[in-house]
């Protein structure tokens, strides 16, 4: 945490709402990225992100300055998303029923994601939604937010060993899901037998998350 951010946190803990607003501005995008990847619905993710910041503000007195503010904030957001997912199961609402296809077009959580086309981004999100929350969270924090194993472990209140294990299993599951989707996909149309056109399915560009999954299979 840089000195400016530390100042904002200290001022916010003393009741300065403007200081907390600066923290919201600094973290609203990564927090929304987490809630969206966890919940798969733009409107619900926005509500969850807002609720996470509200809970953080009301619990500032419980914040330990020795802990990174971002880790503490992500922990609040993650637990709130898990609570929402549990309520979905209670009300028999499937994660797969969320209108991801209607809402993902405007998603742009990280600059490098601009290189992925719409179809690939849809595929990655659909694959993430098939993972259990305990596997989805570390993937998002590690590969979208570039958090360390230690930071993710602190966010999820588990050991570093558990995080490494969950990431390994999550990558295995992604690889299996990807291979199942590829096997179920219709074959590509026939192409002219030219040198440039002789491309197999394995030669096609793959999203970062898909390459990650296959590399660990």
Span 111-146, pLDDT tens digits: 344 443 455 666 777 888 899 999 999 999 998 889
Q: What percent of the chain shows pLDDT beyond 90?
A: 48
156: nearest Cα among 182, 138, 175, 183: 138
Is 161 inside a domain boundary?
yes
Residue 104 pLDDT class (50, 70, 90 cuts): very low
**Residue 21 in tokens:** 């607003």
Q: What is the mean pLDDT of residues 29-58?
A: 94
CA neighbours closer than 13 Å in the CB half-sphere of residue 47: 8
- Phi and psi angles of residue 54, each rounded to the nearest 5 degrees, phi first: -65, -45
Alpha-carbon span 146 to 144, nearest angstrom: 6
Is 194 inside a domain boundary?
no
CATH at 35: 1.10.1740.10
215 versus 178: the higher-pLDDT residue is 178
Q: What is the mean pLDDT of residues 143-157?
A: 93
Q: What percent of the chain shows pLDDT beyond 70?
A: 70
Is 65 inside a domain boundary?
yes
Is 90 inside a domain boundary?
yes
| Structure-derived torsion over alpha carbons of residues 23, 28, 113, 81, reported in degrees to the nearest 10 | 130
> 């991801």: which residue's tokens?
100
Is 28 inside a domain boundary?
yes
The reply to whether the predicted model has a pTM over 0.85 is no
Q: Exposed/middle/buried for 188, CB within 10 Å: 0-12, 13-18, 19+?
A: exposed
Tally of structural domains, the chain? 1
What is the domain extent for residue 206? Answer: 3-185+202-215
């Amino acid at each position: 945490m840089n000195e400016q951010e530390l100042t904002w946190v200290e001022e916010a803990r003393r009741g300065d709402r403007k200081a907390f607003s600066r923290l919201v501005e600094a973290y609203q995008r990564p927090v929304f990225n987490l809630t969206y990847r966890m919940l798969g619905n733009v409107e619900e993710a926005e509500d969850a992100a807002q609720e996470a910041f509200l809970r953080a503000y009301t619990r500032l007195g419980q914040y330990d300055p020795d802990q990174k503010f971002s880790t503490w904030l992500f922990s609040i957001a993650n637990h709130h998303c898990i609570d929402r997912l549990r309520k979905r199961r209670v009300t028999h609402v499937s994660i797969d029923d969320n209108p991801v296809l209607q809402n993902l077009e405007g998603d742009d959580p990280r600059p490098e994601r601009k290189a992925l086309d719409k179809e690939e981004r849809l595929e990655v999100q659909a694959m993430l939604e098939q993972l259990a929350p305990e596997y989805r969270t570390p993937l998002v924090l590690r590969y979208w937010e570039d958090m360390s194993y230690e930071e993710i472990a602190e966010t999820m209140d588990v050991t570093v060993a558990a995080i490494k294990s969950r990431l390994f299993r999550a990558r295995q599951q992604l690889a299996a899901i990807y291979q199942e989707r590829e096997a179920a996909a219709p074959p590509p149309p026939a192409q002219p037998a030219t040198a440039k056109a002789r491309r197999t399915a394995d030669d096609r560009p793959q999203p970062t998350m898909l390459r990650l999954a296959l590399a660990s299979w």
